[in-house]
Chain A
Amino acid sequence: MTGQTIAEKILSAKAGRRVYAGEVVVASVDGCMASDTTAPLAIEAFEAMGGTLPFDPSRTFLAIDHASPAPNERIAALHRGMRQFAERTGCVLFDAGEGIAHQLLVERGHVTPGQLFIGADSHTCTYGAVTAFATGVGSTDLGAVMFTGKIWLRAPQTLRVILEGRLDPTVSAKDLTLALVGQVGLAGATYCAVQIEGETLADLTLSDRMTLANMAVEMGAKTALIVPDHLPVPEGIDTASLYPDPGAVYAKTLRIDARSVRQKVSLPHAPDRVVAIEEVVGTPITYAFVGTCVNGRLADLREAARILRGRHIAPGVRLLIAPASREVFLHALENGAVRTLTEAGATFLPAGCGPCVGTHLGVPGDDETVVSTGNRNFRGRMGNPRANVYLGSAATVAAAALEGRIVDPAPYLAEALS
């Protein structure tokens, strides 16, 4: 019998038969989510299908995270509709201020290894950090998942990524992620599962792995699956199912030498326009943002605080920080990062997606240059098509805020770590 990739193993378990890449399956879903961008349409579709109660309300998660708290009465009405639906059906609601759905689902243990999770948000692939087959869909597909507890999928081919060597201590998981996205390209993994393994994982925390898995969709991938090496697997889960078989067939294998990865940024207006930071050193910026489902976690806030401790951001620069969850904010309060960053001139925003998607607070002005820890910088992404957005790590963003221009954060981090 031919060996299987992790994606093939999980889909086989959920479809009830042995499947390989290319086959279309109807698979049972372990959980689903939608945000305030996608849930109102998903609920409308679900009800139009004839649905009254979702397949499993305790496994149906609705998050008010994209435009939260509501900036106007139109969006307030959509939020109200989500609350009413959750109240009526018993779905789990993450209300405004709790945080980003992707962070909450992992942080609170709602997603576990080996699950099939469907989200009406493209960054659902983040849960590959815990070796779950998680993929983004649109609202009507999500409505059908709520209605049936199932989804049809084509079992994806797998792009195997082997990470070799250890990362330099001044290099962030975001730099490694951007290196991968730059190499594969915006459509280089379309329809594929990106399976990630290798010795570099020894240094990558759950938070780091969420960063890595999150941007799989920026390569067009259906899902990311990181093997659980060096992370505990909850009791009762068959660990063998979370690793590929030796004879598994791959569309392509890519080796990345982590030792040689240095600080990276994505240039406007595409996340795969990745360059070494040296190429843009000196670029003036006026707006710095730390947050989002890719880099709004405690580790990111600490990284920014390490650089800004005892210092102040440059005149004419504003630094906005949106923690990925209330829990992240609480931990950052306890360890002093909130105080350090606030004293340095940062403004804290409510836990949630913040300015990433350009729906409410923190829209950049015309011709403004932004450096952000986000995952997308398409034209208009942050709400203004005349702004330029660079993407980088929390260290890169903090160092840019400090100097008012893009600089290599490595010397600052090396100093803080010494």
Chain B
Amino acid sequence: MRRVGDAHVYGDDVDTDRIIAGKYTKTLDRSVLAAHVLEDLDPTFRQRLVEGDILFGGHNFGCGSSREQAAIALSSAGVGAVVAKSFARIFFRNAINIGLPVVVAPDLEAETGDTLEVDLGTGEVRNLTRRTTHAVSALPPVMRAILRAGGLVPYMRRTGGYPELPSEDSA
């Protein structure tokens, strides 16, 4: 899986309240979530976002509320992948579960407007503007399988449950 897009760079501790405010979460309409994504953090984000762009956060991206609407809002608005120095655990699971690629790249340096390439096949993220390449932390096999299936719903439709985990998981 490969994603190329322009970077939108934010700092540490971007919480899910700021990704999508609680007042907008009570809906099943993805377009409502997409319309208000990152509204309180960066009011211009929605207008500047081009389909496939990549979010680059600092440490602890997605902390706070478990609301999956945060990952859905980013994905529905057209964000192609989220790269961060580190993630809060619930957001990380949620993103994989809805098929939004999330990548931990502690060494990546980028500014808003740089073009990034995320390559989950090679396990690398590249800053094409600065011509740098960085290794990303590998996902556990169960997460790779879920992401490959396109999310946890298609994964469950296919498997009907969690199969025995690959042996490298139980090592």
B-binding residues in A (CB < 8 A): 23-26, 36-38, 40-41, 44-45, 48-50, 66-67, 74-75, 78, 120-122, 136-141, 143-144, 147-148, 150, 152, 154, 186-187, 190-191, 217, 220, 222, 270, 357-359, 376, 378-381, 383, 385
Flag if B68 contacts A138 (CB, 8 Å).
Answer: yes
Flag if A359 contacts B26 (CB, 8 Å).
Answer: yes
In Å, the complex CA distance between A78 and B28 comes to 9
Flag if A67 contacts B157 (CB, 8 Å).
Answer: no
Query: Which residues of B lie under 8 Å from residue A220 when comparing CB positions?
Result: 60, 63, 88-89
Which 3 pairs from chain A and chain B are nearest by CB? A138-B68, A138-B94, A187-B60
Q: A37-B25, A78-B28 are in contact. Are A141 and B94 (CB under 8 A)?
A: yes
- Min CB distance A345 to B, Å, is 27
- Min CB distance B50 to A, Å, is 25
Flag if A270 contacts B13 (CB, 8 Å).
Answer: yes
Query: Which residues of A lie under 8 Å from residue B160 when comparing CB positions?
Result: 50
Flag if A38 contacts B40 (CB, 8 Å).
Answer: no
Flag if B152 contacts A144 (CB, 8 Å).
Answer: yes
Flag if A137 contacts B28 (CB, 8 Å).
Answer: no
Flag if B63 contacts A187 (CB, 8 Å).
Answer: yes
Taking chain B's interface residues, is the majority helix, strand, or loop, or is none over half, making it mixed? loop
Q: A49-B156, A137-B93, A380-B17 are in contact. Are A41 and B69 (CB under 8 A)?
A: yes
- Min CB distance A75 to B, Å, is 5
Flag if B86 contacts A190 (CB, 8 Å).
Answer: yes
B58-110, CB < 8 A from A: 59-60, 63-69, 71-72, 86, 88-90, 93-94, 97-98
Flag if A381 contacts B22 (CB, 8 Å).
Answer: yes
29 contacts between A and B (CB under 8 A): A23-B171, A24-B140, A24-B141, A24-B142, A25-B165, A26-B165, A37-B67, A40-B28, A41-B28, A41-B69, A67-B26, A78-B27, A120-B66, A122-B66, A136-B90, A138-B67, A138-B71, A140-B68, A140-B98, A140-B153, A141-B97, A144-B97, A144-B156, A150-B162, A187-B60, A191-B89, A220-B88, A376-B17, A379-B18
Query: Which residues of A lie under 8 Å from residue B27 when comparing CB positions?
Result: 74, 78
Query: Which residues of B lie under 8 Å from residue A136 when comparing CB positions?
Result: 66, 90
| Closest chain A residue to B20, Cβ basis | A380
User: A-facing mask of B109-150, CB < 8 A → 1, else 0?
Assistant: 000000000000000000000000000000011100000000
In Å, the complex CA distance between A143 and B155 comes to 12
- Min CB distance B150 to A, Å, is 12
A-binding residues in B (CB < 8 A): 13, 15, 17-18, 21-23, 25-28, 40, 59-60, 63-69, 71-72, 86, 88-90, 93-94, 97-98, 140-142, 151-153, 156-157, 160-162, 165, 169-171
Query: Which residues of B lie under 8 Å from residue A186 when comparing CB positions?
Result: 13, 60, 63
Query: Which residues of A lie under 8 Å from residue B97 when comparing CB positions?
Result: 138, 140-141, 144
Query: Which residues of A lie under 8 Å from residue B25 when comparing CB positions?
Result: 37, 359
Query: Which residues of A lie under 8 Å from residue B156 when comparing CB positions?
Result: 49-50, 144, 147-148
Flag if A45 contacts B66 (CB, 8 Å).
Answer: no
Flag if B23 contacts A383 (CB, 8 Å).
Answer: yes
In Å, the complex CA distance between A34 and B116 comes to 37
Q: A24-B142, A140-B97, A150-B161 are in contact. Are A380 and B90 (CB under 8 A)?
A: no
- Min CB distance A150 to B, Å, is 6
Query: Which residues of A lie under 8 Å from residue B66 when comparing CB positions?
Result: 38, 120-122, 136-138
Residue from A48, A50, A376, A385 within 8 A of B40 (CB atoms) = A385
Query: Which residues of B lie under 8 Å from residue A150 when comparing CB positions?
Result: 161-162
Flag if B88 contacts A137 (CB, 8 Å).
Answer: no
- Min CB distance B35 to A, Å, is 14
Flag if A380 contacts B21 (CB, 8 Å).
Answer: yes
Flag if A359 contacts B23 (CB, 8 Å).
Answer: yes
Residue from B17, B18, B90, B151 within 8 A of A137 (CB atoms) = B90
Query: Which residues of B lie under 8 Å from residue A138 when comparing CB positions?
Result: 66-68, 71, 90, 93-94, 97
In Å, the complex CA distance between A121 and B68 comes to 10
Query: Which residues of B lie under 8 Å from residue A359 when comparing CB positions?
Result: 22-23, 25-26
Q: A144-B152, A152-B142, A190-B86 are in contact. Are A38 and B67 (CB under 8 A)?
A: yes
